[in-house]
Amino acid sequence: MYRTRTCGNLRLADEGLVVTLAGWVQKTRKMGGMTFVDLRDRYGITQLVFNQEVDAALCEQANKLGREYVIQVTGTVRERSSKNPHLATGDIELIVSKLVVLNTAVTPPFTIEDETDGGDDLRMKYRYLDLRRSCVRKNLELRHKMAFEVRSYLDKQGFLEVETPVLIKSTPEGARDFVVPSRMNPGQFYALPQSPQTFKQLLMVSGFDRYFQIVKCFRDEDLRADRQPEFTQIDCEMSFVEQEDVIQTFEGMAKHLFKTIRGIEIKEPFLRMTWQDAMKYYGSDKPDLRFGMKFVELMDIMKGYGFSVFDDAAYIGGICAEGAASYTRKQLDALTEFVKRPQVGAKGMVYARVEDNGNVKSSVDKFYSQEVLQQMKEAFNAKPGDLILILSGDDAMKTRKQLCELRLHVAEQLGLRDKNKFACLWVVDFPLFEWSEEDQRFYAMHHPFTSPKPEDIPLLDTDPGAVRANAYDMVINGVEVGGGSIRIHDSQLQDKMFKLLGFTEERAQEQFGFLMNAFKYGAPPHGGLAYGLDRWVSLFAGLDSIRDCIAFPKNNSGRDVMIDAPSAIDDTQLDELCLKVDVKE
């Protein structure tokens, strides 16, 4: 055998035991006649000891070892004289009697340690080396454990795991599809699934009343920290359910993951908030509730005093940062510059400090009496030492979103976004449609199979924009970790939905006729939810990007710099696929 034990499981109780280990050389240290080698494998690090006086040839062999050499050693476990409390194996060392070099290695381009000297691009190019670092490996171990617990929980709830096709039909609604040309069907294309949505609904028609799948999905969209072109969903669907049944089932799964993965037991129900309230009080449909700073509208208080910025505004609102009155003028100017950035888009910011004596000192004192400023203070329930920050604009929704960015930025500065604290929330009652001024038409806010609230169905004929969706998102710490809806299972209602979305009868039949035909054979009421596995893992690991919990991720340009993909294909392949490439500058 190459090894009898691993580099992470030897302890003081193993003292005197003769073992064989195999792994990679992390580092070597020569001290007088002694050579120390840290040997690493997936399970940990063990210190090896070579003694010049005991075996000079063996010690000389050890001195020639380079970083990342693959070696096998046999030796005797001994208690360390200088213990290392930072290592699980820090109480022991291995006195080596035999060394075999299994493979040499060139010096890696960065150090294989938690605190590495390699930048992001370099580590992505050599991702197979980056994966040797224990911090990255732990993310993938966490991912494995979470997937295991998901399967365990859903199996006990009666769910059946079913695989759905990866080569499907393109449906150009929502995000862009990745398309795959078909050699056997010239001029025609498959699409990679953005989600298994229609297939899981067909499984409900088929009588598989509880389905799940941990599935790869693909979206050709611009990337950011919580997006990759390919990502993994925990995709689920249930029959004979209403919204409350789905919420209870998957809130239960979330609590199961918190308990089994993080050791956190959550007994109370998750908070619930309507989409309207989320946008009104936090400017986001995924509010971070680990801290306060709820929006306060100030239209009735601040208008009509000659300050034209407020007098001409369609919305005036602000946040109160507790204990932040100590912000200097330089810090406040920096906040003003932050909200003026193009990605935020505000024209400026007004601030007010609540002083120790209760008076309010603001940047617009010349327009407002202390009496009015006190009314403003009361609206925020502000106390001495608090800082009030106010934005205004001619578009209420846009200004709230700007205020949201300011709220998150200030919370980050004040250390309120603790990654070891979790605030769980269901956002419900989304609008069914969103209106596009550019296209002068409605789009589905989620997808065209989302059911309206039963009591809002009459509004489809009179006021479609006011119709609420039977939809729900789970939000944790300002991250949407999952979402879903009750689906339309009635053919006539689905037809009406397609018409409102601008589908002709022919187009609806062409794209979704298979689903509509299936409904004619008896579709049960059904609904579901999809969790983002990548987002769950990054949340539990305290990561800023989902990229760090994916084995081989793409960079921000959607490229795999390790294998240099995407890449051009040769003319023979293009001919077989009946394709010509015309790259526009």
Residues making up the annotated binding site are 173, 219-221, 228, 446, 480, 487, 532-535
Three-class secondary structure of residue 158 per DSSP: coil
- Specify binding-site residues for ATP: 219-221, 228, 480, 532-535
Distance (Å, whole) CA 526 – CA 211: 11
Sort strands 296-297 and 34-41 into parallel, antiparallel or unpaired.
unpaired
- Specify binding-site residues for L-aspartate: 173, 219, 446, 487
Three-class secondary structure of residue 346 per DSSP: coil
Residues 365 and 355: beta-carbon distance below 8 Å: no
First to last CA, the chain: 58
Peptide bond into 566 cis (omega under 30): yes
Residues 58 and 13: beta-carbon distance below 8 Å: no
Residue with tokens 């293009």: 574
Contacts of 166 (CB under 8 A, 6+ apart): 192, 193, 216
User: Which of 556, 532, 416, 415 is CA-nearest to residue 479?
Assistant: 532
Q: Which pair of structure tokens corresponds to residue 203?
A: 């499984």
Distance (Å, whole) CA 148 – CA 161: 13
Sort strands 424-428 and 271-274 into parallel, antiparallel or unpaired.
parallel
User: Which of 341, 357, 424, 349 is CA-nearest to residue 388?
Assistant: 349
